[in-house]
Amino acid sequence: MRILIANRGEIALRIIRACRELGHESVAVYSEVDRTQPHVLAADLALPIGPAPARESYLNQAAILAAAKKAGAGALHPGYGFLAENAGFARAVEQAGLIWIGPPPEVIELLGSKTAARELARRVGAPIVPGTEPLPDAAAAHRFAQEVGYPILLKAVGGGGGKGMRVVRGPEELEEALARASSEGKAFFADDRVYAEKLIERPRHIEVQILGDRAGTILHFGERECSLQRRHQKVVEETPSVAVDAELRRRLGEAAVAVARGAGYRSAGTVEFLLGQDGRFYFLEVNTRLQVEHPVTEVVYGVDLVHLMIREALGETLTLRQEDIVARGHALECRVYAEDPLRNFAPSPGTIQLLERPGGPGVRVDSGVRTGSVVPLDYDPMLAKLIVYGSNREESLARLRRALAEYRIVGIATTLPLFRLLLDVPAFRSGDLHTGLLDELLGAGSVEALQAAGSPELEEVAIMAAGCLEARAATALPADLMDVVEREGAGWRQEGRRVAHGRFPR
């Protein structure tokens, strides 16, 4: 079978590798700016689909389907993001005679509506946060808030990734928040409808990996803790969660399977929940695709979810039984972004002058870049995922510290310093997490709070260390990397902070 991957970066490379292992040919697609990226070079065949802007390339359904036809592909895997949860595209793929590697279009459509998914969860007995149907006007929102009490959360019906969400803590904030949520819903999801939920304060974000086949078998693979988020975007994920015991894990799994079965689910997906401080959990939504954080489930449960997705789409039924699915050990994943945490996470496009990946026992790096790769502004800034595995959480944290000390990216700013500093935050080390923790630590978009949590003297020492590094670089680095030093002062300040903080002893 020849399989086209309608995506880019690390997830495209991940799927290409799975295809090769299963004996299938892979077809990559690429925009003009991605012509020499690793996923293009790794595939058996690669075809251009348009200019750099995503709407003209990776979101261009006609161009992708034309490439599939030209390549003689028999199936298509969408990865995540872009068109992965677009029911119309899934239908178009099937109408073109291709196998869609993912949930059926009608399931994507059903669960893509937050309100329809909530109603399904209620119908099958999964606990849901008190909420409304799409709000007809601000008066309806005011009435709901009076019934359940502030704070409430306004959410775009088609929302995701933190877009179209507004917290409302009092009646004076409601109308402006409603207008903003509606506007974002229209801009990002072509749907200006908004609904309201009671806000669960300081919850954990817990999700359950599911997998179903056409014979009606639906399995769950435990939970992932995704509470470390910046502005509703996940930053660090792990499995298992320190907050989930065997009984809670069973109940979460049963609720996830009930929702999936009620929807007629096939392929891989994720059922997301909020876990309150009182131990009660509530259905949040279903992501009808492969998740970014799927590797932590793979290493702990000993499965290959991409293999299973492909095999299910090609007609195989699951041979696993629920009792066969047993967690062993603990895993953490850090999302490495081309963003500068010292400049309010500003995008950091450019050329990667030097890339050194960590390795050794219990370390996996799913990366879409290499030395010399150009990081454009046109797409999501995630460069790679660093996954560490150990027999328990303490061993995973030790391996994460070691792996972060080995990981070097020169030429652009990245979020690596953030993870190094997080390791010394007591709440992170103990697993005392909630979805607002990272935003609280970051304060007004800076990492000063995290730096202080690591060492009160860090800033002073970092300045001295940065000076030492620049002097060292002046005598030891080749000319092209000297240009990087001069151009990327912030990057060397980050390196100075690493040295000052004992992350990479010289």
Around 358, how many Cα atoms within 13 Å sit in the side-chain half-sphere?
A: 24
Do the Cβ atoms of 218 and 210 come closer than 8 Å? yes
**347: amino acid identity, one letter:** P
Q: How far apart are CA 176 and CA 179, in angstroms?
A: 5
Burial of residue 451 (CB within 10 Å: 0-12, 13-18, 19+) is buried
Secondary structure (3-state) at 38: helix
Known catalytic residue at 266: no
Q: How far apart are CA 285 and CA 299, in angstroms?
A: 24
Which residue has tokens 């749907």? 191
Contact partners, residue 442, CB within 8 Å, separation at least 6: 230, 449, 450
| Catalytic option among 193, 289, 335, 393 | 289
Q: How far apart are CA 181 and CA 219, in angstroms?
A: 35
Q: How far apart are CA 191 and CA 438, in angstroms?
A: 30
Instruction: Describe the crossing of helices 87-95 and 105-112 by its angle, rounded to 10 degrees.
Output: 170
**468: amino acid identity, one letter:** C
CA–centroid distance for 152 within its chain: 25
Question: Which residues are catalytically annotated?
Answer: 289
